[in-house]
């Protein structure tokens, strides 16, 4: 069984607890590819280095980081330097033979640099940015990942991609995880964040939406605020790429796979719940995932 798990880069994510749970799954024979973000540390480093943090909102409401050349350098320091090595070390402490990679390594993630980025100003005007080093993933070197998994490694991937011209690019971690999950035909994509899942009222955790069918995912976009919109877009792309189900949640990987967060599935709700229980308890279903 193959899982692709993305750990967010915002403050408040229970990374150490997730690492312990990952180690137990891997010890039980699960094949896991881990991706991570780095937004909070990037903001901290920008502040220390006197680099302004600039977020842009696209005309369709997606929020992303404006990554000029200096911000890209700081972003790479955060994600490929500190965060990636810390995660690898943490997993190694728990007995996992983790291997740190950035998407530029081995042409793991190839992306198309966005020639222009359209941003909506607070006054509602659309402006064009041409100095942005962000990209949209076009290709995943799944053969490399399969070789590493077969050799017993757990890949830990920082969200930097390589452009066709050899440039480093900032790519969205959630959508990168979706692309990796689709390329590997993973059994599930799990997005661990600092909120319980998709909330119909972002200020009220009791409004958690627990299950969503793929054909109604667009209808639920109205509830997504800020970064959650990218997570739902990543979920949609993963499902379209053949991944059976996507889980979004916080704190505990076991809990999320047990349906504590939001489960988005392209199959029947019954199979989705049963699959989650099988994953969480490491008990294969008859005729189910292997």
Enter the tokens of residue 260: 């504590």
DSSP 8-state symbol, 114: P
Q: What is the mean pLDDT of each run of 10 residues along the chain (290 residues)?
A: 90 78 94 95 95 87 88 96 94 96 97 86 82 94 98 97 95 96 98 94 93 92 87 95 96 93 74 45 35
Q: Which residue has tokens 């109205």?
A: 222
Domain 2-281 falls under CATH 3.40.1160.10: yes
Q: Is-contact 247 234, C-beta < 8 A?
A: no
Q: How far apart are CA 140 and CA 146, in angstroms?
A: 11
Q: 3-class SS at 62?
A: coil
Q: Is-contact 2 187, C-beta < 8 A?
A: yes
Global pTM reads: 0.89
Q: Give the Å distances, CA to CA, from 224 to 30, 64, 165.
A: 31, 14, 34
Q: Is-contact 159 173, C-beta < 8 A?
A: yes
The rounded Cα 95 to chain-centroid distance in angstroms is 23
Enter the tokens of residue 222: 């109205």
């Amino acid at each position: 069984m193959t899982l692709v798990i993305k750990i967010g880069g915002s403050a408040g994510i229970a990374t150490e607890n997730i690492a312990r749970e990952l180690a137990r799954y891997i010890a039980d024979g699960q094949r896991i590819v881990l991706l991570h973000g780095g937004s909070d540390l990037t903001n901290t480093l920008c502040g220390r280095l006197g680099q302004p943090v600039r977020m842009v909102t696209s005309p369709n409401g997606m929020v992303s980081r404006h990554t000029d050349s200096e911000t890209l350098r700081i972003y790479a320091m955060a994600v490929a330097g500190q965060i990636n090595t810390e995660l690898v070390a943490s997993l190694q402490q728990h007995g996992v033979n983790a291997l740190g990679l950035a998407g530029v390594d081995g042409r793991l993630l190839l992306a198309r640099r966005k020639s222009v980025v359209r941003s909506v100003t607070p006054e509602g005007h659309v402006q064009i940015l041409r100095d942005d080093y962000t990209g949209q993933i076009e290709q995943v070197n799944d053969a490399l990942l399969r070789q590493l998994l077969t050799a017993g490694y757990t890949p830990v991937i920082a969200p930097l991609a390589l452009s066709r011209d050899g440039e480093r690019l900032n790519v969205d971690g959630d959508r990168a995880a979706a692309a990796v999950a689709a390329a590997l035909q993973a059994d599930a994509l799990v997005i661990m964040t600092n909120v319980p899942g998709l909330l119909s009222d972002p200020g009220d955790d009791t409004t958690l939406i627990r299950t969503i069918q793929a054909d109604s995912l667009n209808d639920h976009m109205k509830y997504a605020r800020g970064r959650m919109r990218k997570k739902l877009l990543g979920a949609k792309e993963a499902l379209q790429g053949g991944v059976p189900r996507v889980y979004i949640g916080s704190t505990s990987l076991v809990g999320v796979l047990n349906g504590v967060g939001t489960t988005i599935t392209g199959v029947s709700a019954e199979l989705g719940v049963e699959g989650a229980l099988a994953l969480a308890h490491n008990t294969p279903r008859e005729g189910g995932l292997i």
